[in-house]
Amino acid sequence: MRNRVLLSCFAALAFPALASAADIVIEMPGINFTQKKIVAKVGDTLKFKNSSGYNHNVYVPEEEIGANMGDMQPGSEWALPLYKPGKYELLCGYHKNMKMTLEVKK
């Protein structure tokens, strides 16, 4: 028991981001994101839910993340784990006015 407690304490100290990692849900109910700006932490995961009737293509152009979800069909869900702090843009490849900003803190 004591070992388990010690191990948990060690894990929390060694990996603070993982210890408090959160899932942040971003819905796409139409040709838009539900949020305009998100502040997250390293270790958090963005969960995209395409609840619209349209296909979307979320991508992050900045090289530090450099992610392209590809063709996101209606009803599909995608996860983007955050590893690097910084300020980023989230865009849709299909809809040029669909965008939001993301700030990832340490």
Partner 1 sequence: MKRLILLPALLLTACSSAPVATPPAAPAGPVTSVKYPADWQNYAYYGQTDRYDFKTIRFLYANPTAMTAKPGAPLPYGSVLVMVDRKAKLDEKGNIVRDKNGRFVPTDEIFRISVQEKQQGFGAAIREDLRNGDWEFAIFETSGAVKKGFKQDACLNCHFSRRDNDFVFLFDRFIARKSKSKRAFVEQVRAAELARR
Q: Total residues at the site for partner 1 (CB under 8 A)?
A: 24
Q: Is 84 in the site for partner 1 (CB under 8 A)?
A: yes
Strand order in the sheet with 23-27: 23-27, 45-49, 77-81
Per DSSP, which regions of 6-106 are E strands?
23-27, 37-41, 45-49, 58-60, 67-68, 77-81, 86-92, 99-105
Q: Is 70 in the site for partner 1 (CB under 8 A)?
A: yes
Q: Is 63 in the site for partner 1 (CB under 8 A)?
A: yes
Candidate list 16, 24, 57, 99; residue touching partner 1; CB under 8 A = 57
CB of residue 54 to partner 1, shortest distance in Å: 12
